[in-house]
Chains A and B, each alone.
Chain A
C-alpha cells in the first residue's frame, strides 16, 4: 500500500494519486478504480460509508478538494467523472422531513454517470442520477434524474440551454 490514507478502503486500483488527507469513515466498503485523483492538498476529502454501504469510484475519476460523499446504501461515481470542490453527495437525507426527525429514512442510491462533470459546491441528494457526460453547473442542487449529455444548474437543478 503506497498511501496510508487509502489503507481503510476495501479495494484501491493502480496509479491512484493522493496529495492530502482522505478521511475514510464508517464501516462500509469503498472501492476505488485505477488512476483516480484525490486532490485534497488544501481541504480533506471525506468518504463516509455506513455499515453495509458501498461507495464505488470508477477509473480516472477526479475528486476535488473538500468533497464529501456519505453513503448509507450505495453511491457510484462512473469512469472519468469529475467532482469539483466542496461537492456533497448524500444517498440518504439522514433525517425524516415529515416523519420522525431522528429516524433514518430509506436510502435512494446516487449514481454519477461516466464522464459527468459536477461543478463546485454542488449537492447531489438522494435519488440523483447524473447521466453520462452530463454537466451540473456550480452550486447546483440535484434530486432527480439527469439525461445523458445535457447541462443542468440551479436550485432545484433544471436544464440550462445556453450555459454561457
Chain B
C-alpha cells in the first residue's frame, strides 16, 4: 500500500485553496435551489433530484476519501472534506457510516501498526480529528459532533481509546488516551475526557464529572 501523506510537499497551498473552494461551493449547492423560488411541486422535484445527485456524489467521495482504509462497509457516505492519512495502520469503517462536511476539514490519522475501527451506523460532523497511534475503537451508532478530538497518545500519556456503542460526543469534546467511554453515554460540549466514563452517564466539565442519565429529569 502506498502511504498517503497529508503534508505532501508537491501539493502547493494554492492547490489546497482551490480544492477547498470547490468543496465549499459544492456544499452550498443545497441552497442554490432555495434562491430561485419555484412552485412547491417543482421545488419538490428539484430537491429530490439534488438529493440523488448529492447521494451519489457522497458515495463517490467516500470511496475516494477512504481509499486507504483496509475495510469499508456498505453505504458509507462522505460529504465535504475528509483527510485520511494512513501510514500503515489498520482502518476499518463499518456499514452506513456518514461523515458530514462543513467549514473545517476532518482528519483521521493512522500510525504504522495502529488499529482504528469505526462501528456500524456512526455519524461524524465536520472538523473532527482522530489520531490513532496504537488503538482507537469506536462502537456502533456513535455520534461524533463537530471539532471533536480523539487522541490515543500524547507526550505524557498513552493507551487505547475505546468508545462503546451509542455514545454521543457533543461539539468540541476531547477524548484523552487510555479512556473507555461506556455504552449509551453522552459527553457534553467542550468536555475533556481524561478518565473512564461508566455506561449510561452524562459527562460534563474539564476534567469530566459524570451524572447518571437516569437521574436527569429532562
Listed in ascending order, the chain A residues whose CB lies under 8 Å from chain B are 7-8, 21, 23-27, 40, 43-46, 66, 68, 86, 88, 90, 93, 95, 97-98, 101, 121, 123, 125, 139, 141, 155-156
| B21-52, CB < 8 A from A | 21, 24, 27-28, 30-32, 34-35
| B91-145, CB < 8 A from A | 102-104, 141, 143
Q: Are B102 and A68 in contact (CB under 8 A)?
A: yes
Q: Note all chain B residues with C-beta closer than 8 A to A43.
A: 103-104
Interface size on B, residues (CB 8 A): 34
State which of A24, A68, A101, A141 has its C-beta within 8 Å of the C-beta of B189. Answer: A141
Which residue of the partner chain A has the closest CB to B191?
A: A155
Q: How far is the CA of A104 from the CA of B21 in the complex (A)?
A: 31
Task: Kindly state whether residue B147 has any CB partner on chain A within 8 Å.
Answer: yes
CB distance from A98 to the nearest CB of B (A): 5
CB distance from B19 to the nearest CB of A (A): 13
Q: Are A121 and B172 in contact (CB under 8 A)?
A: yes
Q: Are A21 and B172 in contact (CB under 8 A)?
A: no
Q: Are A95 and B168 in contact (CB under 8 A)?
A: yes
State which of A26, A44, A45, A88 has its C-beta within 8 Å of the C-beta of B171. Answer: A88
CB distance from A156 to the nearest CB of B (A): 7
Q: Are B189 and A123 in contact (CB under 8 A)?
A: yes
Q: Give 20 A-B contacts (CB < 8 Å), ordered by A residue.
A: A21-B24, A23-B27, A23-B102, A23-B103, A27-B31, A27-B34, A45-B103, A95-B143, A97-B186, A97-B202, A97-B213, A98-B213, A98-B216, A101-B166, A101-B168, A123-B190, A125-B189, A139-B190, A155-B191, A155-B205
Task: Kindly state whether residue B58 has any CB partner on chain A within 8 Å.
Answer: no
Q: Note all chain A residues with C-beta closer than 8 A to B31.
A: 8, 24-27
Q: Are B190 and A155 in contact (CB under 8 A)?
A: yes
